[in-house]
């Protein structure tokens, strides 16, 4: 499915934007490549703008990249670019505020991103370290209604739910993946988060028996719980339960976003 000329331009783009930190330079590169219809362009530019807190500029590009993931049949989802698409979806939910009317859309975007990251992990194993880290963070964001709804429907619905059982293995595997590519700080962060989750689980009465288990057994349990959730979600995803048209997606973001104040009083 790859257009060699397009991929060559994307490679050229990546080299230009990799180390850029200045807003004007990012803006210049964005202007140069914005017409390319490719998920990596929107994701990388959006991420760069977010890194300097140019959130309004970032959103336009994140929407373009995330749009590739609205239909489960999009061919880019069977490539490594699925990570870029899912990360863009998650950035929109993580860094932007929306009113209550956005909840049905938020849920579909969240579930789509979660499944797309899972496909990347299934295909690439620990080499999908960014996908593993983000999938764990998505589960740990339980304060979001979309997370509670997804976990309740496909994993466990009672009040004593322990989401650390799901995210623990992802942090652990991400730490291995990051270490393999010598991203030492990211590896250590993920290892610390995995340990925090393990400590939390071992402190809970329902997991008392785990205190005598070797860590690799708990890792296996965590992985099996993650697969249980994913298998429950898979049919709904494949049947288009989370599908959105680009029109629905863009209109929902435009109409239901809580925009930050500007001008006088914006500092309050």
Two tokens, residue 50: 């977010």
Two tokens, residue 172: 């652990």
Two tokens, residue 235: 């049919």
> CB–CB of 195/167 below 8 Å?
no
Residue 268 has a pLDDT of 35
Residue 143 has a pLDDT of 78
Paired residues of 98 in beta bridges: 257
pLDDT tens for the chain, 268 residues: list them.
678 999 999 999 999 999 999 999 999 999 999 999 999 999 999 999 999 999 999 999 999 999 999 999 999 999 999 999 999 999 999 999 999 999 999 999 999 999 999 999 999 999 999 999 999 999 998 778 899 999 999 999 998 899 999 999 999 999 999 999 999 999 999 999 999 999 999 999 999 999 999 999 999 999 999 999 999 999 999 999 999 999 999 999 999 999 876 544 443 3
> CB–CB of 138/147 below 8 Å?
yes
Contacts of 52 (CB under 8 A, 6+ apart): 21, 23, 26
Two tokens, residue 146: 């979309």
Helix (H, G, I), strand (E, B) or coil at 93: helix
Paired residues of 257 in beta bridges: 98
């Amino acid at each position: 499915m790859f257009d060699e000329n397009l991929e060559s331009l994307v490679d050229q783009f990546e080299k230009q934007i990799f180390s850029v930190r200045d807003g004007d330079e990012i803006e210049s590169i964005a202007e140069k490549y914005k017409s390319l219809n490719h998920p990596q362009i929107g994701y990388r530019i959006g991420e760069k703008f977010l890194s300097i807190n140019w959130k309004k500029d970032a959103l336009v590009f994140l929407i373009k990249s995330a749009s590739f993931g609205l239909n489960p049949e999009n061919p880019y989802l069977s490539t490594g670019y699925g990570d870029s698409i899912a990360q863009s979806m998650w950035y929109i939910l993580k860094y932007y505020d929306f009113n209550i009317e956005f909840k049905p859309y938020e849920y579909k975007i969240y579930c789509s991103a979660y499944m797309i990251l899972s496909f990347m992990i299934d295909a690439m194993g620990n080499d999908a370290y960014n996908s593993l880290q983000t999938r764990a963070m998505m589960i740990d964001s339980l304060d979001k209604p979309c997370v509670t709804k997804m976990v309740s429907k496909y994993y466990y619905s009672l009040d004593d739910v322990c989401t650390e059982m799901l995210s623990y293995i992802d942090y652990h595997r991400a730490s291995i993946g990051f270490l393999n590519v010598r991203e030492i700080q990211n590896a250590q962060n993920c290892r610390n988060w995995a340990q925090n989750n393990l400590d939390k689980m071992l402190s809970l009465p329902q997991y008392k028996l785990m205190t005598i288990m070797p860590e690799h057994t708990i890792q296996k349990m965590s992985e099996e719980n993650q697969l249980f959730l994913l298998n429950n979600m898979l049919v709904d995803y494949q049947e288009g339960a989370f599908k959105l048209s680009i029109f629905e997606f863009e209109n929902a973001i435009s109409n239901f976003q809580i925009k930050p104040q500007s001008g006088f009083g914006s500092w309050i």
